[in-house]
C-alpha cells in the first residue's frame, strides 16, 4: 500500500504539469485560429450521442449562410466519423488518440497544421466519444457544445457534473426515442441547468434536423 500511495503522489504532480502544458498549447491554438479568422467549437458527448450527425446537419446550414466549415474527427481508433465528414466535402483531419480517451491541445495543434485554414470559417473539433475524460483538456476552441441522447438514459447528465459545468451549450438529441426508453427530457434539461445555470439547452432530432437552426444561432451568438 505504501507503494500505491507513493504512485498517487507522483501522479498528482505529473497531472498538474500535463494540464499546464496543455493549456499553453490550447492558448497557442486559439491564437493561431483567430489569426486566420477561424471560429472553432469543441463537440463533446458519449459514443453515438450525435456529434458527427450534428456536423452533418450544420455544414449545409453554414453553407446557406455563406460560411465554409472544416473538421477534426477525434476517435480512439478508426475512421468511421472521419469518412462521414469527408463525404460532406469539407476539409477534415482524422485524429486517432490510440488509447487516450480524449483529444488534447497537442493533437489538435498538429491537426490544425494539416488544415487549409484560409479555406475555413468554422472549425468543428469532434472529441472522442466520452463524457468524462475530455473535461480538463482545453483545445483552444471558442465554446464547448455537449450532446447527450435520450437513449443514454435521463440520469446521464446527473452522472457527469464536470462536463456540463464546462460547456456553454447543451444539446439533448434523439428526443423522438425518449418515449421508447422512458427518458424524462425535462429531468435532463433541469440537471444541465442545475450544474450550470449559464448553459443554453436545445432539444434536437438530428435524424430529421429538427432543432438545428436555433442551435446554430446559439452557437454563433
Positions touching a second copy (CB under 8 A) are 3-4, 7, 10-11, 14, 17-18, 21, 25, 46-48, 75-78, 80-81, 99-101, 106, 128-133, 135-136, 149, 151-153, 155-156, 158-162, 174, 176-177, 180-181, 207
Judged by CB, which is closer to a second copy: 62, or 128?
128
Unique residue bearing C-alpha cell 447543451:
170
The CB-of-101 to a second copy minimum distance in angstroms stands at: 4
Angle at 188 between CA 185 and CA 194, to 5 degrees: 140
Angle at 141 between CA 149 and CA 72, to 5 degrees: 70
The sheet with strand 169-173 has its strands ordered as 92-96, 69-75, 122-126, 39-45, 143-149, 169-173, 200-203
Unique residue bearing C-alpha cell 489569426:
35
Q: Which of 179, 62, 173, 201 is nearest to 120 (CA)?
A: 62
Judged by CB, which is closer to a second copy: 12, or 118?
12
The CB-of-156 to a second copy minimum distance in angstroms stands at: 5
Judged by CB, which is closer to a second copy: 75, or 189?
75
The CB-of-39 to a second copy minimum distance in angstroms stands at: 26
The CB-of-36 to a second copy minimum distance in angstroms stands at: 21
The CB-of-3 to a second copy minimum distance in angstroms stands at: 6
Judged by CB, which is closer to a second copy: 80, or 119?
80
* H or E stretch covering 213: helix 212-220
Judged by CB, which is closer to a second copy: 42, or 120?
42
Unique residue bearing C-alpha cell 491541445:
105
In whole angstroms, give the CA distance from residue 202 to residue 172. Answer: 6
In whole angstroms, give the CA distance from residue 14 to residue 22. Answer: 12
Judged by CB, which is closer to a second copy: 58, or 128?
128
The CB-of-25 to a second copy minimum distance in angstroms stands at: 8
In whole angstroms, give the CA distance from residue 1 to residue 170. Answer: 42
Amino acid at each position: 500500500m505504501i507503494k500505491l500511495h507513493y504512485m498517487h503522489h507522483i501522479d498528482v504532480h505529473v497531472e498538474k504539469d500535463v494540464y499546464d502544458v496543455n493549456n499553453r498549447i490550447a492558448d497557442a491554438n486559439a491564437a493561431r485560429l483567430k489569426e486566420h479568422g477561424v471560429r472553432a467549437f469543441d463537440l463533446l458527448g458519449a459514443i453515438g450521442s450525435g456529434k458527427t450527425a450534428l456536423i452533418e446537419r450544420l455544414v449545409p446550414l453554414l453553407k446557406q449562410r455563406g460560411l465554409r466549415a472544416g473538421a477534426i474527427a477525434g476517435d480512439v481508433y478508426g475512421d468511421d466519423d472521419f469518412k462521414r465528414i469527408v463525404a460532406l466535402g469539407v476539409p477534415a483531419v482524422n485524429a486517432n488518440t490510440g488509447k487516450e480517451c480524449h483529444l488534447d491541445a497537442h493533437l489538435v495543434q498538429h491537426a490544425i497544421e494539416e488544415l487549409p485554414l484560409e479555406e475555413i470559417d468554422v472549425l468543428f473539433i469532434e472529441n472522442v466519444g466520452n463524457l468524462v475524460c475530455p473535461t480538463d483538456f482545453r483545445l483552444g476552441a471558442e465554446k464547448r457544445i455537449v450532446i447527450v441522447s435520450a437513449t443514454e438514459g435521463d440520469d446521464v447528465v446527473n452522472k457527469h457534473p464536470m462536463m456540463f459545468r464546462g460547456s456553454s451549450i447543451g444539446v439533448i438529441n434523439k428526443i423522438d426515442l425518449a418515449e421508447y426508453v422512458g427518458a424524462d427530457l425535462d429531468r435532463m434539461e433541469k440537471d444541465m441547468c442545475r450544474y450550470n445555470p449559464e448553459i443554453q439547452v436545445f432539444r434536437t432530432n438530428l435524424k430529421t434536423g429538427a432543432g438545428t437552426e436555433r442551435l446554430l444561432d446559439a452557437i454563433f451568438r
